[in-house]
Copies of this chain bind each other. A is one copy, B any other.
Amino acid sequence: MSAKIRLYVEHPLGQGQSVHLTREQAHYLFGVMRLAVGAHVALFNGQDGEWLAEVVQAGKRGGELSCTEQSKPLQLPPDLWLLFAPIKKARTDFIVEKSVEMGAARIVPVQTEFTNSERVRQDRLQAHAVEAAEQCGGTFVPEVTELQRLDRMLDDWPQDRQLMFCDEAEVGSALRLAENKTGQPWAILIGPEGGFSEKERKRLAALPFAHVVSLGPRILRADTAAVAALTMWQQAFGDWS
């Protein structure tokens, strides 16, 4: 028994558990996807793994599912944060989507000196993260935080968390991640498209927990850089090996 439709729900999941649908979910399952009573859906809530559930009641404004069996255990991503400076709307959405697919545990939009965006729509980005998790078969949805100021985050940085910092001015510097730091919490910082300021660059380079890496000789857009950096990290320290 497999189900093609995956749905994130904010509801406990378990053997025989009933799940009541919101109006929006009912519209999606019964209005858009045309499911009927007896159909199967895969549910996950970020905590209980993935469960197959059968439609037991289908209405225009709501409905009920009943969990039949666990189809996947909970798989938490590594303890990795992805920090990025928000850019144009579509590309910001892409960074969130790609961070979920690539297995970041937390997504943090940061304001740098050269970031144009004064605010982000956290709720919209969080909804994107949910959709990406539904799509990529994950059982976990990373939290997308509100916009943080990079300088303040660095003031309060947890000292055991390593920081991989991708600087396009660092063309040619080798990746020096092999040294160590497996099993520790990490963060990846993707700079704004205008680059870091001289002050930020100096501060970052001097931090004892920061590791500068190069992403090759061409200039990457921020969304490309995010995927490339996540690939490097997952191969070296994460759940890809």
Which residues of the other chain, B, contact A16 by a CB distance below 8 angstroms? none
Q: Is A205 an interface residue (CB 8 A)?
A: no
User: In the complex, which residues 159-202 of chain A have their Cβ closer than 8 Å to any Cβ of chain B?
Assistant: 174-175
Q: Is A228 an interface residue (CB 8 A)?
A: yes
Is A217 within 8 A of B239, CB to CB?
Answer: yes
Which residues of the other chain, B, contact A227 by a CB distance below 8 angstroms? 224, 227-228, 231
Which residues of the other chain, B, contact A218 by a CB distance below 8 angstroms? 101-103, 136-138
Q: Is A241 an interface residue (CB 8 A)?
A: yes
Q: Is A145 an interface residue (CB 8 A)?
A: no
> Taking chain A's interface residues, is the majority helix, strand, or loop, or is none over half, making it mixed?
loop
A100 CB to closest chain B CB (Å) equals 8
Determine the distance from Cα of A239 to Cα of B217 in the docked complex, in whole angstroms.
7
Is B174 within 8 A of A241, CB to CB?
Answer: yes
Is A75 within 8 A of B239, CB to CB?
Answer: no
**Interface residue tally for chain A (C-beta within 8 Å):** 33
Which residues of the other chain, B, contact A216 by a CB distance below 8 angstroms? 102-103, 234, 238-240
Assess A235 versus B98: contact at CB under 8 Å? Given A137-B218, A219-B135: no
Assess A221 versus B174: contact at CB under 8 Å? Given A216-B234, A227-B231, A231-B231: no
Is B101 within 8 A of A221, CB to CB?
Answer: yes
Is B174 within 8 A of A220, CB to CB?
Answer: no
Q: Is A214 an interface residue (CB 8 A)?
A: yes
Q: Is A215 an interface residue (CB 8 A)?
A: yes
Is B103 within 8 A of A221, CB to CB?
Answer: no
Q: Is A232 an interface residue (CB 8 A)?
A: yes
A168 CB to closest chain B CB (Å) equals 9
Assess A220 versus B175: contact at CB under 8 Å? Given A231-B227, A232-B231: no
Which residues of the other chain, B, contact A102 by a CB distance below 8 angstroms? 216, 218, 220, 224, 228
Is B174 within 8 A of A219, CB to CB?
Answer: no
Determine the distance from Cα of A214 to Cα of B137 in the docked complex, in whole angstroms.
15
Which residues of the other chain, B, contact A135 by a CB distance below 8 angstroms? 219, 221
A-B contact pairs, 8 of them (CB 8 A): A97-B221, A98-B224, A136-B221, A175-B241, A215-B240, A217-B240, A227-B227, A231-B231
